[in-house]
Copies of this chain bind each other. A is one copy, B any other.
Protein backbone atom coordinates (compact mmCIF):
# COMPACT_ATOMS: atom_id res chain seq x y z
CA UNK A 1 0.00 0.00 0.00
CA UNK A 2 1.36 3.44 -0.87
CA UNK A 3 2.69 5.48 2.00
CA UNK A 4 1.81 9.09 2.58
CA UNK A 5 3.41 11.71 4.79
CA UNK A 6 1.51 12.53 7.98
CA UNK A 7 2.14 15.40 10.34
CA UNK A 8 1.49 14.53 13.94
CA UNK A 9 1.73 16.24 17.28
CA UNK A 10 2.48 14.26 20.41
CA UNK A 11 1.97 15.99 23.76
CA UNK A 12 3.54 14.49 26.87
CA UNK A 13 2.50 15.79 30.28
CA UNK A 14 3.13 14.80 33.86
CA UNK A 15 0.22 12.87 35.35
CA UNK A 16 -1.97 14.64 37.85
CA UNK A 17 -0.48 14.34 41.31
CA UNK A 18 3.09 14.07 40.08
CA UNK A 19 5.14 16.94 41.45
CA UNK A 20 6.32 19.41 38.79
CA UNK A 21 9.23 21.46 40.19
CA UNK A 22 9.84 23.14 36.83
CA UNK A 23 6.22 24.31 36.70
CA UNK A 24 6.49 25.58 40.28
CA UNK A 25 9.64 27.52 39.39
CA UNK A 26 7.82 29.15 36.47
CA UNK A 27 4.91 30.05 38.76
CA UNK A 28 7.39 31.74 41.11
CA UNK A 29 9.12 33.54 38.27
CA UNK A 30 5.81 34.82 36.84
CA UNK A 31 4.84 36.05 40.30
CA UNK A 32 8.19 37.86 40.61
CA UNK A 33 7.54 39.50 37.24
CA UNK A 34 4.27 40.91 38.59
CA UNK A 35 1.77 38.52 36.99
CA UNK A 36 -1.14 38.12 39.42
CA UNK A 37 -3.78 35.45 39.57
CA UNK A 38 -1.66 32.52 38.38
CA UNK A 39 -3.11 29.42 40.01
CA UNK A 40 -0.87 26.76 38.56
CA UNK A 41 1.64 26.09 35.80
CA UNK A 42 2.57 22.60 34.62
CA UNK A 43 5.20 22.09 31.97
CA UNK A 44 5.18 19.34 29.40
CA UNK A 45 6.77 18.42 26.11
CA UNK A 46 5.50 18.49 22.59
CA UNK A 47 6.90 16.57 19.62
CA UNK A 48 6.08 17.53 16.05
CA UNK A 49 6.65 14.42 13.96
CA UNK A 50 6.57 14.03 10.19
CA UNK A 51 6.35 10.42 9.17
CA UNK A 52 5.44 8.03 6.38
CA UNK A 53 2.50 5.72 6.98
CA UNK A 54 -0.10 3.88 4.96
CA UNK A 55 -3.03 5.46 6.82
CA UNK A 56 -3.91 7.79 9.65
CA UNK A 57 -4.75 4.82 11.87
CA UNK A 58 -1.40 3.20 11.11
CA UNK A 59 0.37 6.47 11.96
CA UNK A 60 -1.49 6.66 15.28
CA UNK A 61 -0.54 3.10 16.17
CA UNK A 62 3.13 3.75 15.38
CA UNK A 63 3.11 6.99 17.39
CA UNK A 64 1.56 5.27 20.43
CA UNK A 65 4.31 2.66 20.19
CA UNK A 66 6.95 5.44 20.03
CA UNK A 67 5.46 7.03 23.15
CA UNK A 68 5.52 3.78 25.07
CA UNK A 69 9.09 3.01 24.05
CA UNK A 70 10.80 6.40 23.98
CA UNK A 71 8.89 9.65 24.10
CA UNK A 72 7.04 9.29 27.40
CA UNK A 73 7.84 7.79 30.76
CA UNK A 74 4.45 6.17 31.27
CA UNK A 75 5.05 5.69 34.99
CA UNK A 76 4.74 9.43 35.57
CA UNK A 77 3.60 10.85 32.22
CA UNK A 78 0.51 10.75 30.01
CA UNK A 79 0.64 11.28 26.27
CA UNK A 80 -1.84 12.37 23.65
CA UNK A 81 -1.53 12.00 19.90
CA UNK A 82 -3.02 14.14 17.15
CA UNK A 83 -2.52 13.18 13.51
CA UNK A 84 -3.68 15.33 10.64
Residues of A bordering B, CB below 8 Å: 3, 5, 11, 13, 23, 26, 29-30, 33, 35-53, 62, 65-66, 69-71
For A44, the chain B residues whose CB sits under 8 A away are: 45-48
**Oligomer copy total:** 2
- Measured CA separation A8–B69 after assembly (Å): 29
Q: Is the CB of B45 within 8 A of A49?
A: no
For A37, the chain B residues whose CB sits under 8 A away are: 3, 51-53
Main secondary structure of the interface of A (DSSP, over half): strand
Q: Is the CB of B46 within 8 A of A13?
A: yes
Most interface-central of A11, A36, A48, A71 (chain B CB within 10 A) = A48
For A69, the chain B residues whose CB sits under 8 A away are: 33
